[in-house]
Chains A and B, each alone.
Chain A
């Protein structure tokens, strides 16, 4: 698609457009079903399994994988790693879209979506970790939106207001890190209220720490992964700076991810020791736990470190996809697979085809909007009028 000539671009029946079109139509049908027949008609949720794929994937994975926004912007603007500057805009954009889609997906999952502002503006349940999540996601979505606006203002040519927003960069970045720390961790802490339902290998007093630390390498890996995709499809939109810096971004982020993942493995082992959960490792659940921790954290971490040492971009890119899958596996384990583990098999939850369809619809929507913005606005390149302006 990236190679389209101006003539070919006028053809609307490209494979990309046809597939996304079909998915979007199916999504609209599912939306109508959800809001006419009820959540029960499109999902396999029940009274024992109140949260399913829409929370486990759309919310938990969506938020974790959008962590690239705060990781990249803090690396560049706070920790002074200026060489990552060209990676900030795409990361902020994907984070903004990621969070926007998380909130969008919640409209399907909660019973009365128009009441979603209630916890913030009407009746604050401050004892709830979900309140913390809601407030932080609301505020962070606002921060990400403001952080993204300079790109839109450059596109529209509003120089003055762009200048004002750019001057807020440091404050917004710090605010973003604070909010991300809080809600990334409290997404894990949500499950700390139910020790009787979550398998001991995943339940821990450190669950919030695990979620926060893993969000760091989730974000880094996702930035690498997205950059791989963008190079494949949006190469023509990248300027020389972006192209020159992107290998360095991948290598640097891969190295950082490797370090954080090793640390994460360490604190997971400490968690096992603190709760004395060693004996569970010999069970089937233990094997599954090791698949997650060794197979999807330790091994990609090693591949990252090899890639960083040998400057091998293929290693880095494979490790990034691997680590992203590991994050998805972890979030699904905590919220769905190891949750309600004590229930008999007949009472366990498996997502319905319509739930999966809705999730695919929402992810597709994200890809379409990202593609639109990256094609129109200065995301992968610097606007010629603002080259010196940072």
Chain B
């Protein structure tokens, strides 16, 4: 194998890895524990001070991934005048800055990838080799990974009507598993790209900065950005001048969304209890109100009934009294009449002899009146 020491540090580790990386790793995206990457996972160091913008890496990438004939041949360096990004036809591109500084972009294979954390079907995951892998067979094409990626790397085949997919650098995972180098690293004529264990690459980068402090900005881009990336960069000018954002911070993507995700069990656990409680309180209040109403109605009815009975009794008493008075008056009247009649009869009898037929009528009328 024509692999120089400088292109591939830690060959032995890679060989050992090649046999064990068939299994897919999980991103462990939302555990509370700190995840600092799989041990011995790989990465690439891009020393932009060595890059000459020859586009050889673009060509190698195109060939390894069978991306088809490009619009401009790879020896046409005029495309470097435009600022380009990755798309379905190019998983890596080199851009030119300040006239003579070049920087290559591709998937940075984050230690805790935003895309994998965002994917709702686990079509993206962090492999134990360090590669962030895309599984087309699961992808729904929602493009949330593209929204999530802080480096704007994943691209989408927008003109494929029925089977569009995400495209991005694979870190040449199939080649790594064979113990080979990624296409771009292998072809780079200036050794601006170095493949190796991420931990070793960081040491190497520190060394380069220490040995040439005037040559480099004292920062390894990707060591901590967004929780760290497998692909890291050295630069001679500030990173934001070679198109790399310096405001990304060191918080990994899963941490950014851990808060709202942590709220889920709280909501699921507390809302039903609270809402049922509110419902029960209202129900009870209604019931009590109903009972109170019923009690009030009953009391009112009872009172009314009592008053009615009293009034009735009073009326009855009054009526009875009136009746008694009337009877007494009539009796008195009848007695007086009878007495009068008797006196008259007595007077008549005294004058003539007694007539029994004439005696009865006044008696009958007196009885009827009673």
* B81 in the interface (beta carbon within 8 A): no
- The B168-225 residues at the A interface (CB cut-off 8 A) are none
Mark the stretch among B13-21, B158-166, B302-310, B358-366 that contacts chain A: B158-166
Chain B residues whose C-beta falls within 8 Å of the C-beta of A129 in the assembled complex: 118, 257, 260-261
A167 to B30, CA, bound (A): 39
Chain A: interface residue count, which band? Answer: 35 or more
A-contact 0/1 string along B125-148, CB 8 Å cutoff = 000000000000011111110111
A141 to B157, CA, bound (A): 30
Contact B275 A177 (CB under 8 A): yes
Chain A residues whose C-beta falls within 8 Å of the C-beta of B162 in the assembled complex: 35, 112
A126 to B258, CA, bound (A): 11
Contact A181 B267 (CB under 8 A): yes
Contact B256 A192 (CB under 8 A): yes
Chain A residues whose C-beta falls within 8 Å of the C-beta of B27 in the assembled complex: 127
Chain A residues whose C-beta falls within 8 Å of the C-beta of B29 in the assembled complex: 127
* Beta-carbon nearest neighbor of B143 in chain A: A50
A116 to B120, CA, bound (A): 10
Contact B164 A38 (CB under 8 A): yes
Mark the stretch among B66-74, B227-235, B244-252, B331-339 that contacts chain A: B244-252
How close is A362's CB to chain B, nearest CB, in angstroms? 18
On B, residues with C-beta under 8 Å from A are 27, 29-30, 85-87, 114, 116-123, 138-144, 146-148, 150, 152, 154-165, 245, 247-249, 253-254, 256-257, 259-261, 263-264, 267-268, 271-272, 275-276, 278-279, 282-283, 285-286
A194 to B146, CA, bound (A): 10
Contact B140 A177 (CB under 8 A): no
A181 to B264, CA, bound (A): 9
A207 to B264, CA, bound (A): 15
A43 to B141, CA, bound (A): 15
B-contact 0/1 string along A42-71, CB 8 Å cutoff = 010111101100000000000000000000
How close is B107's CB to chain A, nearest CB, in angstroms? 13
A122 to B213, CA, bound (A): 52
How close is B253's CB to chain A, nearest CB, in angstroms? 5
A-B contact pairs, 7 of them (CB 8 A): A38-B164, A74-B275, A110-B142, A122-B121, A128-B118, A131-B120, A193-B256
Mark the stretch among A76-84, A157-165, A240-248, A304-312 that contacts chain B: A76-84
Contact B117 A127 (CB under 8 A): yes
* A348 in the interface (beta carbon within 8 A): no
How close is B225's CB to chain A, nearest CB, in angstroms? 10
B-contact 0/1 string along A175-201, CB 8 Å cutoff = 101100110011001111111110000
On A, residues with C-beta under 8 Å from B are 34-41, 43, 45-48, 50-51, 74, 77-80, 109-113, 115-116, 118-119, 122-132, 134, 170, 173-175, 177-178, 181-182, 185-186, 189-197, 205, 207-208
Contact A111 B119 (CB under 8 A): no
Contact A50 B264 (CB under 8 A): no
Chain B residues whose C-beta falls within 8 Å of the C-beta of A173 in the assembled complex: 275
A116 to B158, CA, bound (A): 18
Also in contact, A174 and B275, with CB within 8 A (given A80-B286, A185-B263, A196-B247): yes
Contact A50 B278 (CB under 8 A): no
A37 to B158, CA, bound (A): 9
Contact B163 A112 (CB under 8 A): yes
User: Which 10 A-B residue pairs are closest in the complex by CB-CB distance?
Assistant: A111-B141, A40-B158, A80-B282, A127-B29, A189-B260, A50-B143, A111-B164, A50-B146, A131-B120, A128-B120
**Inter-chain pairs besides A74-B275, A110-B141, 5 sampled, C-beta below 8 Å:** A47-B146, A123-B138, A126-B30, A189-B260, A194-B147
Contact A181 B253 (CB under 8 A): no
Chain B residues whose C-beta falls within 8 Å of the C-beta of A119 in the assembled complex: 120-121, 140
Contact of B282 among A48, A50, A79, A110 (CB under 8 A): A79
A11 to B123, CA, bound (A): 53
A131 to B120, CA, bound (A): 5
Contact B271 A181 (CB under 8 A): yes
* Beta-carbon nearest neighbor of A115 in chain B: B140
Contact B271 A46 (CB under 8 A): no
Chain B residues whose C-beta falls within 8 Å of the C-beta of A113 in the assembled complex: 140
Contact A36 B260 (CB under 8 A): no
A37 to B161, CA, bound (A): 5
Contact of A196 among B245, B254, B257 (CB under 8 A): B245
Also in contact, A174 and B155, with CB within 8 A (given A48-B85, A112-B164, A195-B249): no
Chain B residues whose C-beta falls within 8 Å of the C-beta of A130 in the assembled complex: 118, 120, 142, 144
* Beta-carbon nearest neighbor of B146 in chain A: A50
Chain A residues whose C-beta falls within 8 Å of the C-beta of B247 in the assembled complex: 196
Contact A39 B119 (CB under 8 A): no
Contact B272 A178 (CB under 8 A): yes
How close is B256's CB to chain A, nearest CB, in angstroms? 5
Contact of A125 among B119, B159, B259, B263 (CB under 8 A): B119
A189 to B118, CA, bound (A): 11
* Beta-carbon nearest neighbor of A342 in chain B: B245
A181 to B270, CA, bound (A): 12
Choose among A34, A43, A123, A177 the residue with the greatest number of B CB atoms under 10 Å from its CB.
A123
How close is B299's CB to chain A, nearest CB, in angstroms? 26
Chain A residues whose C-beta falls within 8 Å of the C-beta of B152 in the assembled complex: 47-48
A177 to B160, CA, bound (A): 39
* Beta-carbon nearest neighbor of A344 in chain B: B83
A185 to B122, CA, bound (A): 22
How close is A270's CB to chain B, nearest CB, in angstroms? 16
Contact of A193 among B87, B123, B148, B160 (CB under 8 A): B148
Contact B282 A39 (CB under 8 A): no
Chain A residues whose C-beta falls within 8 Å of the C-beta of B268 in the assembled complex: 178, 182
A207 to B29, CA, bound (A): 20
Chain A residues whose C-beta falls within 8 Å of the C-beta of B276 in the assembled complex: 170, 174
How close is A355's CB to chain B, nearest CB, in angstroms? 13
Also in contact, A47 and B156, with CB within 8 A (given A129-B261, A132-B264, A195-B249): yes
Contact B122 A38 (CB under 8 A): no
